[in-house]
Amino acid sequence: MNFQIEGLRAWAPGLESEDDWRAWCNAPVVVPDDQQQPDVSFLPAMQRRRLSRLARMLFHVAWPLAEGRGPLPLVFASRHGETPRTLAILNELAKGEPLSPTQFSLSVHNAIIGLWSILREDNSEMTAMAAAGDGLEQAMLEASGLLAEGAPAVLLVIAEELPPDLYTAYIDDVPFSYALALLLKPGKTWTLSLAPAESGLPAAWPHPLNLLRALHGGQRTLTHYWKDRQWTWSRNEA
Domain at 137, CATH number: 3.40.47.10
Distance CA 166, CA 87 (A): 9
HSE toward the beta carbon, residue 76, CA cutoff 13 A: 28
pLDDT tens by residue, 188-205: 999 999 999 876 677 789
Residue of 89 and 124 predicted with greater confidence: 124
216 in a domain, yes or no? no
SS3 188: strand
Q: Are 28 and 144 in contact (CB under 8 A)?
A: no
Is residue 210 domain-resident?
no
> Residue 173 and residue 168: Cα distance in Å, rounded?
10
Q: Rounded CA gap, 13 and 32, in Å?
A: 7
Q: How far apart are CA 236 and CA 228, in angstroms?
A: 25
On whether residue 181 sits in a domain, the answer given is yes
pLDDT score for 133: 87
Whole-number pLDDT of residue 222: 92
Using the Cα atoms of residue 102, residue 107, residue 108 and residue 111 in order, give the sign of their dihedral: positive
Domain count, the chain: 1
Average pLDDT, the chain: 92
86-102 as b/e: b if 16+ CB within 10 A: bbebeeeeeeeeeeeee
Burial 163-194 (b: 16+ CB within 10 A, else e): beeeeeeeeeebbbbbbbbbbbeeeeebebee
Residue 74 included in any domain: yes
pLDDT at 238: 55
Residue 204 counted as domain residue = no
Helix axes 135-148, 207-217, angle to 10 degrees: 70
Amino acid residing at 53: R
Q: What one-letter code names the amino acid at 212?
A: L
- Residue 117: inside a domain: yes
Contact 2, 190 (CB under 8 A): yes
86 occurs within a structural domain: yes
Task: Tell how far CA 201 is from the center of its chain.
Answer: 23
Instruction: Report pLDDT digits (tens) over 135-191.
Output: 999 999 999 999 999 999 999 999 999 999 999 889 989 999 999 999 999 999 999
Residue range of the domain that includes 173: 2-188
Most confident of 61-65, 66-70, 224-228: 61-65
Residue 67 domain flag:
yes
pLDDT at residue 104 above 80?
Answer: no
Question: For the residues 208-228, what does the mean pLDDT come to?
Answer: 91
